[in-house]
Structure 1
Amino acid sequence: MKEELSILVQAQYPLIYLVTAEEERAESAIAKIAQQQTQHQRVFIWTVTRGFQEYGKAPQTTQHNTVSPEAAIEWVVRQPEAGIFIFKDLHPFISSPAVTRWLRDAIASFKGTEKLILLMSPSLEIPLELEKDIVVLDFPLPDLQDLDEVLRGQLNQTQVKRISLEAREKLLKATLGLTKDEAQKVYRKAYVKAGQLTEQEVEIVLSEKKQLIRRNGILEFIEEDETLAAVGGLEELKHWLTQRSDAFTEKAREYGLPQPKGMLILGVPGCGKSLIAKTTSRLWGLPLLRLDMGRVYDGSMVGRSEANLRNALKTAESISPAILFIDELDKAFAGGAGSGDSDGGTSSRIFGSFLTWMQEKTSPVFVMATANRVERLPGEFLRKGRFDEIFFVDLPTADERQAIFQIHLSKRRSDIGRFDVAQLAKVSDGFSGAEIEQAIIAAMYEAFAQDREFTQLDIIAAIKSTLPLSRTMMEQVTALRDWARQRARTASASVAEYQRLEF
């Protein structure tokens, strides 16, 4: 980004929008770029509270008659010398007709003057009139080298004499995705809490990342204690995930393996799709972030929804490697390619932005998506190369239903020898994993109301009184199976082996 900004300055681009919340660090980078030009350029900084002030000079250089945005831009136009003029947080005013017009007039007057207006803000707001004239850059978060400087400064302040290389590496990687200020605060917090800075304090640092995600508002940090053992059946899918448990390590890169992109899990509702996503986080040792598409859409302002998605994806990339979980993708992007008439094109733009990001992302963010209604998914999602694999999770087989009964009964009672899981599996034919769990819970409520222990017969009675989804939505389940038979990989080992023999 710094190299790109330097090139734009040399090429005399008149208007640049720098998206960042790190004002001090960005100002320092811009000042260095200005000093590296053939003719050293002066740097001026504008705020709505103080007007213009020259960077690095005493407050007496403040131009007090430039507090209003219109007056500030007019002052820039009248300056005879070249310079970089930074406007902080102009986004609340930029859509004003007067400010927009002044910016366009300034751009026209800058030709051959080596003057540049740079808008700096954490929020991207661009009026339609300026779209053709503005260049947008994202100021990157600190890399390991920047964070190492912060850590060294903190170690000097706290007079910690030694820290192992392993502890240093873990602390630095744990703070990737934080700003320099956030990193300084979390290092201080770890020192105050533990009185030292070692690899044991990584958990304190990671807790700050969770706060970062909570502040984002669109992503949700999911903590899951369950392991893959909590998932009954789906051995083919489990095997695929286990093979890739070290896929994001340096060892995998040295071997020549590319980073996994993602996977789509299709299937009947209640068959463990979401649970697989959550337990994968534990298996791979990666943070799990759930993207809530309902929070992405914001009709309060044109462009706000797209900005929400960009910010969410940027946050996910900043704390990568991570798993980005999108539950019920079919609802989130249903008709995304052709639903522009009802919402002014917002859905189409969101859909296009997400597809582009999936195709071009280089950061280790693994997209794990689930869907129930494949006919609602835009065809672009199902194109080869978008996901590493598409798995189909069908209703559990008899053996898988036995495993599911054993898992749920074991969670509730230490001794399950009195239950005949083979019989329970037989009478629950056509039930999903979620429906099996609810049958057990219904049996427990029945027995609890009668002040006794629940039995095999209670569970059988609960099963027989339930009409499973596979019967109430038989046509939908049949259509999904027919589609998946030729287009997706089955998640159950027994079915997968049968299909291999069939071909």
Structure 2
Amino acid sequence: MKEELNILVQAQYPLIYLVTPEEERAEQAISKIAKSNTEHRRVFVWTVTHGIVEYGQPRQMTQHNTVSPEAAIEWVIRQKEPAIYIFKDLHPFIDGPVITRWLRDAVSNFKGTEKAIILMSPLQQIPIELEKEAVVLDFPLPNLSELDRVLSARLQKGKNSRLTTETREKLLKAALGLTKDEAQKVYRKAQVKAGRLTENEVEIVLSEKKQLIRRNGILEYIEEDETLDSIGGLEELKRWLRQRSNAFTERAREYGLPQPKGMLILGVPGCGKSLIAKTTSRLWGLPLLRLDMGRVYDGSTVGRSEANLRNALKTAESISPAILFIDELDKAFAGGSGSGDSDGGTSSRIFGSFLTWMQEKKSPVFVMATANRIERLPGEFLRKGRFDEIFFVDLPNPEERQDIYRIHLGKRRSDIDRFDLEQLTKISEGYSGAEIEQAIIAAMYDAFAQDREFTQLDIIAAIKATLPLSRTMTEQVTALRDWARQRARPASASVAEYQRLEF
């Protein structure tokens, strides 16, 4: 990106929009670009609090009467010498007709000159009048070499100035996805807490990193203790996941394999779709980030929703390889391709941005999405190549229900031989895994209230007292099965084998 910014400046692009929360790093990069060009350019910075000040000079050296955006842009237009003018946080004013007109005047005035305006903001907000004039760039988060300089500076101030290569690499990778300032803070915290930076402090850095990721409320760092073995059935899906457990290694690249893009898991609610996504993180040894699409949408400021999505995806890419988990995709993007009238086009833009990112992403971010209502999903999500595979998770068959009973009873009691699993399996036909688990819990509560151990009869009573979704939503389940029969891969091994033989 820095190379792209340098090319744009040299090519005399008059208006550049730089999206970043890291003002200091971005200013340093722009200053280096200005000095490296044949035609040395001065750099000026505008803020609404101090007006225009030359970069590197005290704030008191402000240009007279340039605090207002209009006066500042007018002053910039009057200047004759080559220069780069950085405007910080102009986005609250940019939609005003006067500011928009001044910027268009500046673009017209700058043609053929060595002058450029760089709008720097954590939010991307460009009026329609300027869309053809502005070039948008995302300033990347620090890479490993930049983080290495941050770590080296921290080590010089501590007790340990040397680290093994392995420990240094772990500390650097643990900080990927943080800004330079955030990395400085977490290294400082780890050093203060332990007195020195060692391999043991990697967990401190990771813990703080999780808090920083959660702080924006859009991405959530999920840790799951369960494994694939804690999920009953779904053997075909499990086999697919185990085959790709080393898909993000260098060995896979050397073998010629492409990086997996993602998978969509469709199915009846309560059949283990979300748990599969969470346990895959542990199987593959990758961090799991949950993207809360409900929190992406923010109507407080125009462009805020789009900025939320971009920042979340940038964070996921910066700590890749990682798994990006989107639960209930059908609710997140329902009608996304045709909602232009209901919300000013925000949903359509969010949907389009996400599809473009999925298509063009080069970073190893594996998108794992679940959905219950296939009719609500835009068709663009389901076209071939968007996901590596689409799996359908049906209600558990008899063998899977028996496996589910064995797993959930085994979690709670060691002596499960006293239960007749075959009988329980027969009477719970049409029940999901979640409904079976809740029946066991209900049986335990009934027995606990009577101060006794729960029995087979308690579970049977709890099952009979439950009306499963397969009966209350018969039409929906039937429609989903009909759709998946020809368009999705069955998650259960027995169904997959049957379909292969039928074919």
Q: TM-score range by the shorter chain?
A: over 0.9
**Counterpart Cα distance in 2 of 1:59 and 1:217:** 35
Look up the equivalent residue of 1:229 and give its one-letter code. Answer: D
The reply to whether residue 95 of structure 1 matches residue 95 of structure 2 is yes
Partner of 2:438: 438
Partner of 2:262: 262
Shift of 1:459: 0.7
Look up the equivalent residue of 1:250 and give its one-letter code. Answer: E
Distance 1:91 1:339, change over 3 A: closer
Q: Is the CA contact 1:14–1:117 (under 8 Å) kept in the aligned structure 2?
A: yes
Partner of 2:494: 494
Partner of 2:199: 199
Partner of 1:149: 149
Look up the equivalent residue of 2:363 and give its one-letter code. Answer: S
Secondary structure of 2:302's partner?
Answer: coil
**Counterpart Cα distance in 1 of 2:59 and 2:385:** 56
Partner of 2:387: 387
**Counterpart Cα distance in 2 of 1:378 and 1:163:** 51
Q: Is the CA contact 1:43–1:55 (under 8 Å) kept in the aligned structure 2?
A: yes
The reply to whether residue 230 of structure 1 matches residue 230 of structure 2 is yes
Q: Is the CA contact 2:20–2:120 (under 8 Å) kept in the aligned structure 1?
A: yes
**Counterpart Cα distance in 2 of 1:111 and 1:484:** 57
**Counterpart Cα distance in 2 of 1:378 and 1:122:** 30
**Counterpart Cα distance in 1 of 2:480 and 2:314:** 34
The reply to whether residue 29 of structure 1 matches residue 29 of structure 2 is yes
Q: Residues 43-58 of structure 1: matches in 2 within 5 Å?
A: 43-58=43-58
Q: Residues 76-475 of structure 1: matches in 2 within 5 Å?
A: 76-475=76-475
Q: Is the CA contact 1:268–1:477 (under 8 Å) kept in the aligned structure 2?
A: yes
**Counterpart Cα distance in 1 of 2:48 and 2:186:** 31
**Counterpart Cα distance in 2 of 1:368 and 1:377:** 15
Look up the equivalent residue of 1:405 and give its one-letter code. Answer: Y
Look up the equivalent residue of 2:5 and give its one-letter code. Answer: L
State the superposition RMSD in angstroms: 1.5
**Counterpart Cα distance in 1 of 2:339 and 2:74:** 43
Q: Which moved more, 1:358-367 or 1:55-64?
A: 55-64
Distance 1:283 1:375, change over 3 A: same
**Counterpart Cα distance in 2 of 1:163 and 1:221:** 28
Q: CA-to-partner distance for each residue in 1:197-241, whole Å, 9 max, x for gaps?
A: 222211111122212221222122222111111101111111111
**Identity value in percent:** 83
Partner of 2:16: 16
Shift of 1:56: 2.6
Question: Which segments of 5 or more consecutive residues in structure 2 lack a partner in the other structure?
Answer: none
Secondary structure of 2:300's partner?
Answer: coil
**Counterpart Cα distance in 1 of 2:317 and 2:194:** 29
**Counterpart Cα distance in 2 of 1:62 and 1:299:** 36
Shift of 1:62: 2.5
**Counterpart Cα distance in 2 of 1:59 and 1:313:** 35
Q: Is the CA contact 1:171–1:199 (under 8 Å) kept in the aligned structure 2?
A: yes
Look up the equivalent residue of 1:441 and give its one-letter code. Answer: I
Look up the equivalent residue of 2:467 and give its one-letter code. Answer: L
Q: Is the CA contact 2:45–2:53 (under 8 Å) kept in the aligned structure 1?
A: yes
Q: Which moved more, 1:468-477 or 1:398-407?
A: 468-477
Secondary structure of 1:417's partner?
Answer: helix
**Counterpart Cα distance in 1 of 2:483 and 2:335:** 18
Q: What TM-score, normalized by structure 1, do the two folds share?
A: 0.96
Shift of 1:166: 0.7
Q: Which moved more, 1:411-420 or 1:236-245?
A: 411-420
Q: CA-to-partner distance for each residue in 1:5-35, whole Å, 9 max, x for gaps?
A: 1111112111111111211211111111111
Look up the equivalent residue of 1:365 and give its one-letter code. Answer: V
Look up the equivalent residue of 1:481 and give its one-letter code. Answer: R
Secondary structure of 1:119's partner?
Answer: strand
Q: Is the CA contact 2:320–2:364 (under 8 Å) kept in the aligned structure 1?
A: yes
**Counterpart Cα distance in 1 of 2:181 and 2:473:** 54
Look up the equivalent residue of 2:129 and give its one-letter code. Answer: E
**Counterpart Cα distance in 1 of 2:152 and 2:159:** 10
Shift of 1:267: 0.8
Q: What TM-score, normalized by structure 2, do the two folds share?
A: 0.96
Shift of 1:448: 2.2
Shift of 1:260: 0.7
Shift of 1:277: 0.7
Q: Is the CA contact 2:123–2:304 (under 8 Å) kept in the aligned structure 1?
A: no
Q: Is the CA contact 1:170–1:202 (under 8 Å) kept in the aligned structure 2?
A: yes
Secondary structure of 1:158's partner?
Answer: coil
Shift of 1:299: 2.6
Q: Is the CA contact 1:50–1:64 (under 8 Å) kept in the aligned structure 2?
A: no
**Counterpart Cα distance in 2 of 1:188 and 1:306:** 33
**Counterpart Cα distance in 1 of 2:161 and 2:6:** 39
**Counterpart Cα distance in 1 of 2:424 and 2:148:** 58
Which ranges of 4 or more aligned residues in structure 1 deviate by more than 3 Å?
A: 57-61
Q: Is the CA contact 2:43–2:86 (under 8 Å) kept in the aligned structure 1?
A: yes
Distance 1:161 1:312, change over 3 A: closer
**Counterpart Cα distance in 2 of 1:164 and 1:237:** 40
Q: Is the CA contact 2:123–2:303 (under 8 Å) kept in the aligned structure 1?
A: no
**Counterpart Cα distance in 2 of 1:78 and 1:491:** 67
**Counterpart Cα distance in 2 of 1:206 and 1:57:** 37
**Counterpart Cα distance in 1 of 2:61 and 2:473:** 73
